[in-house]
Amino acid sequence: MTPEEEKKIAKYGQNLKDDIHIDLLLTNDERSEAFQDFCDNLTRIAPKIQIKKEKDEESKPPLIRADNVRYQAIPMGKELEPFLSALAKRDNYTKNMPFSVREQLNKIQIPALLKIYITPLCPFCPKTVMQFLSLTAANRFIKLTIIDGTLFPEIAESDNIHSAPTVLLDDQFRWTGLIQVEEVVDIILNRDPSKLSASSLKAMFKEGDAVGVAKMMIDNGKIFPAFMELLVHKKWPVRLGAMVAFETIAAENSKLAAQTIPSLWDCFSQAEDTVKGDILYLFGKSGDKGVIPKLETILNGSYPTDIKEAATEALEELK
C-alpha cells in the first residue's frame, strides 16, 4: 500500500461517524494472504472499519463482502476510491441518478447477479464500477461481484473474458467497454424469469424467498430448468430452499409439481442416498399417484433400509 493510498484511507476514516462492518472470507487459496494483508492495513489506518473474518477450508477464491457488493479483487490504486464509496452510506448515488432509472430500479423484485471484470491498469474500470455500485445502492436485489481478471485468471477464463471492463448479468448477458447502465437496468427488469440461472434462484433462497421462487413458476405455468438442478443439489441448505418452493407449488398446482417427476426419477439412480431420500420425499408431496409404481420398484429392489423407509412414507402420503 502506497503512502498516498494510506492517506486516502486515513482521510476517509476520519470522516466516518459510525463503525462500518465488512466480511473477509479467507480460504485455503494462497491469494487469501494478500486479502488479509489489505484488510489488516485498512482497519489499522481506519479503525472504524471493522473486519469480520470467516475461514473456509475449501480452496475457493477469497473475497471481501460489504452488503450486496463482493470484491474478488484487492482494490488498490484507482479502484480504492470506488471500494471506499461502496462501504459508505450510498444515498448520494441515488440522488444523482436520473429519475427514469430510479423508477425502473424500484420495480426490480427478483435477484440480479452482476459481475464486473476489471484489471489494475484498466483506465475505464473505476468509472464502470462506480456506475454499478449505484445500482446496488438503489436496490438490494442487485448483487455485484467485482473480479480482478489478472488476479483470478481461472475465473476469467471460465467466463470467457478477454477484455476489461466486462459486465455479466446472470451469466447470460454480456457488455464490454463503455457500458450504458440504463440498458443493463432495462434488461434486468424485463428478463424472462424462466431463464434465471441457478445462482439467481439460490440468491432468492438465501434471502428466505423460496415461496417467491414458487410463485414465479406458478405464475409462468412452468418449472424453471435451473430449479431442477437445485432440487438435487449436493448441498443441503440449497436443496432445502428448493424443496420448500416445491411444496408450495404442489399445494397450489399439483399438475405443475408433477412436471418435475421425470427429471427427478432420471437423477435418482445416480444420486447420493441423502438426495435419494429427499427425491422420495418430494414424490410423496407431489400428489401425483403416477409415481406409485416407481415407489413400489424401490420397495422391491435392493436399496438400503432408510431409502425403503422413505419410499414407504411417500406411498403413505399419496394414499
Residue 111 is predicted with a pLDDT of 86
Question: Across-strand partners of 65?
Answer: 23, 70
Same domain, 120 and 151: yes
Please list, in sequence order, all residues whose beta carbon lies within 8 angstroms of the beta carbon of residue 289, skipping any fewer than 6 positions away: 318
Question: Residue 272: how many CB atoms within 10 A of its CB?
Answer: 10
Same domain, 47 and 182: yes
C-alpha pair distances (Å), 108 with each of 55, 93, 174, 198, 202? 33, 17, 19, 18, 17
CATH of the domain at 133: 3.40.30.80
Same domain, 198 and 151: no
Residue 93 is predicted with a pLDDT of 61
Is the sign of the CA dihedral 38, 39, 40, 45 positive or negative? positive
Same domain, 172 and 198: no
Structural domain count of the chain: 2
What is residue 142's three-state secondary structure? strand
Same domain, 306 and 208: yes
The alpha-helical segments, DSSP class H, found in the chain are 3-14, 32-45, 80-87, 91-95, 99-105, 125-138, 153-158, 181-189, 198-206, 210-220, 225-231, 236-252, 254-258, 261-268, 273-286, 292-299, 305-318
Residue 209 is predicted with a pLDDT of 86
Residue 56 is predicted with a pLDDT of 86
Same domain, 207 and 120: no
Here the contacts of 16-19 (C-beta below 8 Å, separation 24 or greater) are 16/46, 16/48, 16/49, 16/88, 18/48, 19/48, 19/49, 19/50
Domain end point (choices 189, 212, 238): 189
Same domain, 149 and 54: yes
Residue 89 is predicted with a pLDDT of 62
Residue 3 preceded by cis peptide, ω within 30: no
Same domain, 169 and 236: no
Same domain, 174 and 231: no
Global confidence as pTM? 0.80
Domain end point (choices 173, 189, 205): 189
Domain end point (choices 189, 206, 239): 189
Per-residue pLDDT tens over the stretch 180-225: 888 999 999 998 888 888 988 988 888 788 998 999 999 999 999 9
Range of the domain at 58: 3-189
* Residues with pLDDT less than 70, the chain: 89-96
Residue 91 is predicted with a pLDDT of 58
Same domain, 51 and 177: yes
Same domain, 216 and 181: no
